[in-house]
């Protein structure tokens, strides 16, 4: 309702708006932010919400983050699949992220790239979103013990920090460009065509 009020006020005051950066509050569980998780209390019907913006000519650009908090609904899935930057013992390297502890996804691992693209597609693109806001991707991993997959040649994670940022952006872009419009079951343009 509040998001609809924003658009109504833009129209009432003749303020043009053709895109809206959706901050990470749409992913919240309590005070935490959980990438690829729609807060169904705030947004009970994501497809309908996205469509309401598209109907007014406004494209949403949602915030996505490359770290998972320890209590993220998909943290254990990512840990078991080895998708996170790891300590030498194979456990995720703990980092402070926002107001909690979590771990960064390791984009030097092809499995992480595939997982990320799948999440971007299933949690965002399928609803009619066509672009993402890649945020908080500085990869602040400071431990000398943290290791990156290194595409099969493990390296100290600190050496891959700038690369991780670029690979995250590349994976997000790839998901967006590989996603065919006919795969958007909810997307309907103003003219009614997909």
Task: Tell me the chain's radius of gyration from C-alpha atoms.
Answer: 18
pLDDT tens column, 128-174: 998 999 999 999 999 999 999 999 999 999 999 999 999 999 999 99
Q: Beta-strand (E) ranges in the chain?
A: 19-22, 28-29, 32-33, 59-64, 67-69, 95-97, 100-104, 133-134, 147-148, 155-156
pLDDT tens column, 140-152: 999 999 999 999 9
Supply the pTM of this predicted model: 0.91
Which element (helix H / strand E) includes 53?
A: helix 46-54
| Cross-strand pairs, 101 | 96
What whole-number distance in Å separates Cα of residue 119 and Cα of residue 95?
Answer: 22
């Amino acid at each position: 309702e509040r998001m609809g009020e924003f658009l109504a006020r833009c129209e009432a005051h003749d303020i043009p708006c053709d895109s809206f950066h959706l901050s990470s509050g749409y992913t919240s569980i309590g005070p935490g932010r959980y990438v690829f998780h729609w807060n169904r209390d705030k947004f009970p019907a994501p497809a309908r919400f996205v469509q309401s913006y598209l109907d007014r000519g406004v494209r949403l650009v949602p915030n996505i983050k490359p770290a998972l908090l320890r209590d993220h609904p998909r943290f254990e899935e990512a840990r078991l699949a080895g998708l996170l930057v790891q300590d030498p013992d194979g456990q995720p390297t703990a980092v402070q992220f926002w107001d909690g502890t979590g771990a960064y996804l390791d984009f030097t691992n092809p499995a992480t790239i595939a997982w990320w693209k799948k999440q971007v597609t299933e949690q965002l693109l399928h609803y009619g979103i066509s672009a993402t806001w890649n945020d908080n991707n500085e990869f602040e991993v400071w431990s000398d013990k943290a290791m990156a997959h290194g595409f099969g040649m493990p390296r100290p994670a600190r050496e891959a920090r700038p690369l991780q940022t670029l690979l995250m952006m590349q994976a997000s872009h790839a998901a967006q460009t590989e996603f065919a419009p006919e795969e958007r079951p909810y997307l309907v343009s103003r003219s009614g065509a997909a």
